Structure 1
């Protein structure tokens, strides 16, 4: 009991002081190069999660690697079922998305914020919703978004603020 409490306290402390990527690696998540990890939610079997190169996992994304085995344990007390999660290269996963067991996300995919990914996603897709469905291709989205490209990525935060605040409303995305 004391050992369990000490481990929980250590884990809580490490969540606060380590980078999110380093914390995920410590849990057993396999992470490629040039990733940006902003979540701490890797479920109870983080070692079943593989993340490729150039992947951005934003705030509050949850990875779930187990099923609802609890329901079956009245008949089979040892019941447990799991699914690995594989994220290929060059993927963006939007805030508050949930990735379920057994899902494979192909290369060059955008997962919209708040999506619940229940099935594998083919490469070059943009998906969103609950359950997540293909909305368009990455190439089609890029073509549509070009008119909104403001090329601010290399500006300092102050320069970016000044620039954005002086633009007309027509230069921003509107829904």
Structure 2
């Protein structure tokens, strides 16, 4: 039985390595030493850029439809959502309004050395500055300047980082 588990885990590791390789080839840009855990979902990877030494943990979903850029040395914890796509709110007839969705969809730009805590959500058009921290469970609806900690729903400024 122990041999079975050794073979199983070795096979799983090979499958994940190949999955990551294929995903990285499809990305618009992918730096060195990028880690994307299994069970991550990236929609439209051709519109996504990831910098060196960045890690995206399990169960994170990224909608890169209108562009997502993640800088160097970033850590995105598990179960996060990042979306550059949104839709209009007051529509009774969705098919007729589908072209209007574009005006509510904007790229997401995450700077270098950013840490995004578990279960956080980054909405379309948000820019997160370098060296910032987004606390667990936060919903980021507006831009976050560099060197700041933001938490909550909606995310709000907590304190300036002294670097």
TM-score class, shorter-chain normalisation, is: 0.5 to 0.7
More contact order relative to length (CA 8 Å, sep ≥ 6): 2
CA distance in structure 1 between the partners assigned to 2:131 and 2:78 by the alignment:
20
Contact 1:61–1:98, Cα closer than 8 Å, also in 2: yes
CA distance in structure 2 between the partners assigned to 1:77 and 1:66 by the alignment:
12
CA distance in structure 2 between the partners assigned to 1:99 and 1:61 by the alignment:
8
CA distance in structure 2 between the partners assigned to 1:50 and 1:77 by the alignment:
25
RMSD (CA atoms): 2.6
Alignment of 1:111-130 (within 5 A): 111-130=134-153
CA distance in structure 2 between the partners assigned to 1:80 and 1:51 by the alignment:
24
Bigger Rg, structure 1 or 2: 1
- Which one has the bigger helix percentage? 1
Q: Could you say which residue in structure 1 is the equivalent of 2:61? A: 41
Alignment of 1:130-141 (within 5 A): 130-139=153-162
For the pair 1:62 / 2:90, whether they are aligned, the reply is no
Contact 1:110–1:138, Cα closer than 8 Å, also in 2: no
CA distance in structure 2 between the partners assigned to 1:24 and 1:97 by the alignment:
25
Runs of 4+ in 1 over 4 A off after TM superposition: none
CA distance in structure 1 between the partners assigned to 2:125 and 2:141 by the alignment:
8
CA distance in structure 2 between the partners assigned to 1:38 and 1:23 by the alignment:
19
Contact 1:126–1:134, Cα closer than 8 Å, also in 2: yes
- Which one has the bigger strand percentage? 2
- Seen in structure 2, the aligned counterparts of structure 1 residues 73 and 49 have a Cα distance that, compared at 3 Å, is farther
Q: Could you say which residue in structure 2 is the equivalent of 1:109? A: 132
Aligned pair count reads: 124
TM-score, length-scaled by structure 1: 0.62
Q: Which runs of 5+ in 2 are unaligned?
A: 1-14, 29-44
Q: Which runs of 5+ in 1 are unaligned?
A: 1-15, 143-175
